[in-house]
Amino acid sequence: MNDILRGLEPEAVFRNFESLTRIPRGSGNEKGVSDFLFSFAKQHRLEVVQDPSLNVIIRKNATPGYEKSKRVILQGHMDMVAVKEDDIDFDFEKDPIPILIDGDMIRTKGTTLGADDGIALAMTMAILESKTIEHPPLTALFTISEETGMDGVINLKPGTVSGDVLINIDSEEEGIFLASCAGGINVDMTLPVSFIDPFEDNEFYEIIVKGLIGGHSGSEINKNRASAIVLLGRLLQILDEQAGIEISYVNGGIKMNAVPKSAKAVISVQKGNIDKLKEAIKNTQDIFRNEYSSSDSNIVIDIKCDKENQKILSRESKKKLIGILRVLPFGVQAMSADIDDLVETSSNIGMLETKADSILISSSVRSSVKSRKEEICKRIQAVGEITGSTVELNSDYPDWQFKKNSPIRDLMVKTYKDMFGKDAKVAAIHAGLECGYLIEKVGDIDMISLGPNMYDVHTPDEHLSISSTKRIFEFLCQVLKRMK
């Protein structure tokens, strides 16, 4: 496992990144990586603070000649989305990420890679440890739990971090500098349910919708990929209409901010309707594959026998559950009228979970227009009122509005042109960055976001371009050099 990335350049960036892959750091499990970063700073005799939330703030003096330059904050988050293939034996609480080199890409063996946002930490660490890179006064801000609600930046005490310019390293496309992002909110709907004894002469089956690509519920919501939870809702309605099923259990999705790749249900059906059930499943699979032939061509609906004598939902609970899954908003809700190809508003049904006496359906709502975000929440709340469900709004985070004047943006655009001979693109993103909260914590300073090419983040297919990482790191160092 050790030194898999040895020989890659920049050496310090990939050495630090590989070290990070050996530290479990799924959201909510950042104590180890936080302590690692704290020790790193101490080792290099840098001023460091580990706050009560486990955020880490490291300060480094300017190199000679840059003492009067503006202080730059380099910022990224230390947690990662922990998702794996169903058939992989892997424990995110203790196992190192199984990285490998595949041509120009760093990949894994069936797990998320954690380049989002481990590469930000690795690049910043390389700059902090360097004795040759020229730079202004620096503050490195590493936050926790960005992926599950931005808890780290929310709990950052105002005044703890100060600076004049903030460079967020949490973007995923080389040559695209982000200057604005959507705000978002998590919406938890809890449907109270009642269970009854199963009917006689019924057989139980487990049904799984799988084979979907999934993806980031913000940056990839416009790719029209299928949601396993949405498809499961459609399937259950079809099976109820054509085979008269009962439902014992539903479950799907792993993370709020990931389009679900799989979802399952345990159902029962009268023995006389088994052939109808299987025919309906086959026909529905064909329908799904046809509808998503371009984005999710490998959709599979598996069916297998399950144990009998399980409790089933009451008819009223079943009706409400299917209704909720059929009408909750999913996908792109509105496109921006001002920026071409930018999603303005979306909703992702991220998780579905059956509990003892309720079913939890969790959605992630995003919008760059606050009133549109509120409107989607109102629609979900209306569904809750009709079905007798409770609806809670959590982790509401602000948008980051575009600034007409930005010296750091101008500098980056010019530097990119000078270095690579082509124009960079300044854009907005339909995903949450911590910049909105950071405005509240460090002030409305000049901010921008960048990053190397990485693909299929938040999925087990996540991979990072080696050559792009090298170019972006060298570009970032050149920007710092020009801030004298």
Angle 286-288-290 from CA coordinates, rounded to 5°: 70
418 phi-psi bin (left φ>0, alpha ψ -120 to 50, beta other): alpha
DSSP secondary-structure letter at 360? E
Q: How far apart are CA 317 and CA 439, in angstroms?
A: 45
3-state secondary structure of 122: helix
φ, ψ (nearest 5 deg) of residue 98? -80, 80
Which residues neighbour 339 within 8 Å (Cβ) at sequence distance 6 or greater? 427, 428
239, 328, 347, 356 from 194: Cα distances, Å: 21, 21, 28, 9
Q: Which residues contact 207 (CB under 8 A, 6 or more apart)?
A: 232, 235, 239, 264, 265, 266, 267, 281, 301, 302, 303
Write out the two tokens for 393: 């709004």
Q: Which residues contact 322 (CB under 8 A, 6 or more apart)?
A: 233, 236, 237, 240
**Residue 250 tokens, joined:** 């539903």
* Rounded CA separation 114/92 (Å): 11
Residue tagged active-site, from 18, 117, 146, 151 = 146
The one-letter code for the residue type at 153 is V
Q: Is residue 365 a contact partner of residue 373, using CB atoms and an 8 Å limit?
A: yes
Q: Which residue has the tokens 């460091």?
A: 48
To the query of whether residue 79 is one of the catalytic residues in this protein, the response is yes
For the question of residue 146 being annotated catalytic, the response is: yes
Centroid of chain to Cα 364 = 10
Strand-pairing partners, residue 343, are: 335
Catalytic position from the list 18, 79, 172, 246: 79
Q: Which of 483, 419, 412 is nearest to 169 (CA)?
A: 412
Active-site amino acid positions: 79, 146
